[in-house]
Structure 1
Amino acid sequence: MKRICFIGLGIMGKPMAINLIKAGYSLQVYDRNPPKVEAVASAGARGCSSIKEAVEGCDYIITMLPNSPHVKSVVLGEDGVAENAKKGALLIDMSSIAPSASREIHDELKKRGIRMLDAPVSGGEPKAIDGTLAIMAGGDEKDFEEARELFDVLGSSAVLVGPVGSGNTCKLANQIIVALNIAAVSEGLMLARRAGADVEKVFMAIRNGLAGSTVMNAKVPMILEGNFKPGFRIDLHIKDLANALDTGLNTNTPLPLTAEVMQMMQVLKIDGEEKSDHSALMKYYEKLTGTRVRKE
């Protein structure tokens, strides 16, 4: 069986790695936080103390890291993936990073005979745990088909959307739509509350109509309970929206609503909510109006 290296064992990476172990794959895992390595090693992986050790002899290297600088450091940095992966290995970067960073990493790896897919995901921690993530990939079709058996373990859908960098472009579009959806839901429910309606019943009335969405069904119950335990953190969503705005600038694409919702999230970050779930966007409206939508 092919050997897999998994680097990055955070909120998303840990359950993804565990699902691969449960599916019978042999994993070598690394994270700069040793307790995270120990947690996945206890599920059956081989815990490693360095990137070099984790990458050694592996056919596939999966990275799930917070941002572009992290991925560049792990892959292209001293004693990183590029220096230690065997020729012909396939890097599957499932982080959400700038498309330009994906292309830069790909070009450097190609010089060393290492293949790459950028394959970010959507669905947050619950779908990472369930193995039902939506995977959007960029790269060579042959490499994508080779990786499909892994994607089938990690997600309920995997689509090749274009060359390397396209996966993260797709993810940016996804993140814009999710952020604006949460903001729209928050704005609509705040109107309902201040106009005297029962917000929970408003949710029940509209969730199966045209306004209904996966975002609404996932986030409104959290909002009403005041449960902002992170499935996807505000600071990470800010990072994605910043990448979207940079990409918009580089492609001469106006993104006025993206800029607005990013500023709303920045306000929450200043208020100390950066580690909260992005559904905490409701707190922005509560701050504006002095009205709580959350249950007392």
Structure 2
Amino acid sequence: MKEIDFYPITKEELVRKALAYVKDKLKIDNPIAIYISGSRLRRWNTEKSDFDLFAIVKEDPEKILYGKFTSQEKHFNIDKIGVDLNIKGFSLLYKMIINGDPNVIELFSEKPLWTSEDLYRNEQSLNLIKWLNEPQGHDTVLQANFIRFVKAGAGMIKSAKKKLQHHKTIRASKDLATAALWLDYADEAIVNESFPNPEYQMNVSEAYTLRRRIGDNALTEEEIPQEIRLLEEKATILKEKAYAKNVDYDEQSRQSRAILSAKFVRAMG
């Protein structure tokens, strides 16, 4: 597995300036962790790719009581290099997991670029972050909503169809690449009954081939429908496999959600 490409800046500079933006510009005083995401996490980036970062922050409990959840998406530049920053509090991170969002699978496939050093304020939050990056945490996340996770690839195929209707060929191709990757994650999870290994999938899956065909060798508007049909067939087969194999799905889901709820409550305290 090749290393994440931080060119043309260093990992340290990226983290330092991202933290400065979060604390000074956005006035968020207690970030907990920063992860790389997007094309650079998947090793799909080109020389012109922006950086996608995911920041987890600890929310003020009083604001949560009033329904004020932390969620922001910001774009800023570091020496003319674009950075897309997605900021989530623990409450919305929990919701992503419970909803079976495959982005969570990718997010915790790599260790964070940075974590808070304030153990006094954030010990339980940091314990949660560490656990989410470990095999036991991976499996609990996966089982929290396994069927929804398997279905996510089909949802991305629908997104590609809509874009194709508006002749947005490149965007449709990108959605198909993501759908293929998510279906590969689901396939591995069903076969191995464990958290899929994005490090393996990002290198060998058909998604990688699809993604590489964006640009000079992009899928044409005539080729995309055939890719859609193939992926739809795969999605249908995977859903049938998932339902057949997970006969105790409801009980596993309840147990996993109970574990996650307890850990997130402690982390947010």
TM-score, normalised via structure 1 length: 0.29
Higher helix share: 2
- Pick the structure with greater CA Rg: 1
Using CA pairs below 8 Å that are at least 6 residues apart, which structure has the higher relative contact order?
Answer: 2
